[in-house]
Amino acid sequence: MAILYNFLIGLFGSFIGVLPPGLINMYAAKISMKEGRKRAFLFSVGVCMTVMVQTYVALLLAEYIGKHPEIVSMLQKVALGIFISLTIYFIFIAKDTRRELKDRDQHSKKNRFFLGIFIALLNLLPLPYWMYLSITFSTFGMFSFSQPELLVAVIASGLGTYASLALYVQFFRPKEHSKKLKLNMNYVIGIITAIISVITFLKILKQM
């Protein structure tokens, strides 16, 4: 039963956590519209690999973090700095995605996988998210930190993340008859990171 609980929490916890519009899923949507769903799926696989590592680390440290809330506060401050930097980049520095798209070579397809890994590494939110989630459910006896169950939760988190990203990839279909986008996706991503920055900043102020 413990394995089943860990699997369901890992699957639905990651699916729900990634489902709201955010940096990673909007980036997957951007790639889907610009370069096609195949490359967006490669990007999603890269994201899932990183998310599973982040989930594993978070779960290993969950019990310790639960006794030291100042570490969560530190992670929030680091995340705030990252999101502010990303907001500045996507709004003021990144190129307009509405420009005419040029044909990509085969090598760029492989880069989508590594781009997914890189973008997911910039997102530190899964760490405090899984620490909080696992500790909360463990207090109700519905989450186990033993190794077999822990690995099941990690794998399930990757599956849930991929399922959530797949919805965005399927919904934002590539433009078959037009090489231009009417919406600058970098602005959308920049606005989202700005909102996340404000929310994170308010959480930090609330804890002070």
Contact 165, 31 (CB under 8 A): no
Reported as a single tens digit per residue, the pLDDT across 120-133 is: 888 877 887 888 78
Query: Are 43 and 115 in contact, with CB atoms under 8 Å apart?
Result: yes
| Confidence band, pLDDT 50/70/90 cuts, at residue 46 | very high
Residues 6+ apart with CB under 8 A from 169: 28, 29, 32, 37, 40, 41, 44
Looking at residue 64, its pLDDT comes to 75
Mean pLDDT over 1-6 rounds to 91
What is the band of 179 on the pLDDT scale with cuts at 50, 70, 90?
very low
Q: Which structural domain range is residue 146 located in?
A: 2-207
Count of structural domains within the chain = 1
Burial, 136: exposed, middle or buried (Cβ in 10 Å; 0-12, 13-18, 19+)?
A: middle
Nearest of 85, 111, 76, 93 to residue 203 by alpha carbon: 76
pLDDT tens across 13-29, in order?
A: 898 888 777 778 888 88
